[in-house]
Amino acid sequence: MECSFGITGKGYTIIASDSNAARSIVKMKTDEDKQKVLSDHLVMTYSGESGDTLQFSEYIERNLRLYGIRNHVELRPRAAASWIRAQIADSLRTRNAYQVNLLLGGFDLPTSEPALYWVDYLGTLATVPFAAHGYGAFFALSTLDRYHRPDMSLEEGLDLLRRCINELKTRFIVDLGTFKVRVVDREGVREVKL
């Protein structure tokens, strides 16, 4: 029942995820942050098998940090996404593969372009203008198809995200509660209240 969204616009990427920690039918926590800030201009949302998500996201976070320290330069979003994809794809053919779905939102400084990558537990990497994981994808992708434009301002982008979440509120049987939202742009990563 987890759900995350990503939307790119003019010079920014919005990343949002629900904040429920649930086990079976029980809601354990409603203020869980299911995102990791990987570098100055890269954020990742993770969902999937609960033990795997934390283990994997911390592994990714620490390794990207190590790369930054060793090389005095952060990986660009595209490079980070390919490396993360390779980690999932390698793990897929082991006895206990990571069951983690990711959205990677970033801002590529050299080209001044926002970047968004959809990655699933099989190691499928898609470069997309907007994306969703979980049941939310079935409800929100058509809304995103209809209203998304690549030149949207940040306010328009956040309005579009509100529209998607509103769609879930009205049509999805589960209440996903509040969403944690982060924006990545030239200035870096910051949290935004919807």
Partner 1 sequence: MSDITTLNGGSCIAFKGKNCVAIACDLRLGNQALTVACNRDKVFKITDKTYLGMTGLASDVDTLRSAFRYRLNMYRMKEEREIEPETFAHLVSSTLYEKRFGPYFIEPIIAGLNSNNEPFIAAADLIGCLNFAKDFVVTGTASDKLFGMAEGLWEPDLGPEELFESISQALLGALERDALSGWGAIVRVITPDKVIERTLQSRQD
What is the contact surface with partner 1 in residues (CB under 8 A)?
Answer: 85-86, 88-89, 92-93, 118, 120, 122-128, 131, 137-138, 141
* Residue 89 C-beta: closest distance to partner 1, Å: 5
Nearer to partner 1 by Cβ, of 7 and 125: the residue is: 125
* Residue 20 C-beta: closest distance to partner 1, Å: 22
* Residue 136 C-beta: closest distance to partner 1, Å: 12
Nearer to partner 1 by Cβ, of 3 and 158: the residue is: 3
3-state secondary structure of 184: strand
Length of the chain: 194
- Which one, of 79, 34, 81, 92, lies nearest residue 58 by Cα? 34
**Cβ(31)–Cβ(74) below 8 Å:** no
What whole-number distance in Å separates Cα of residue 169 and Cα of residue 46? 21
* Residue 101 C-beta: closest distance to partner 1, Å: 10
State the number of CA atoms in the 13 A half-sphere of 78 facing the CB.
7
Nearer to partner 1 by Cβ, of 28 and 92: the residue is: 92
Nearer to partner 1 by Cβ, of 22 and 128: the residue is: 128
* Residue 190 C-beta: closest distance to partner 1, Å: 27
Under DSSP, the state recorded for 131 is E
Nearer to partner 1 by Cβ, of 124 and 178: the residue is: 124
Which ranges in the chain belong to alpha helices (H)? 50-71, 77-92, 136-147, 154-171
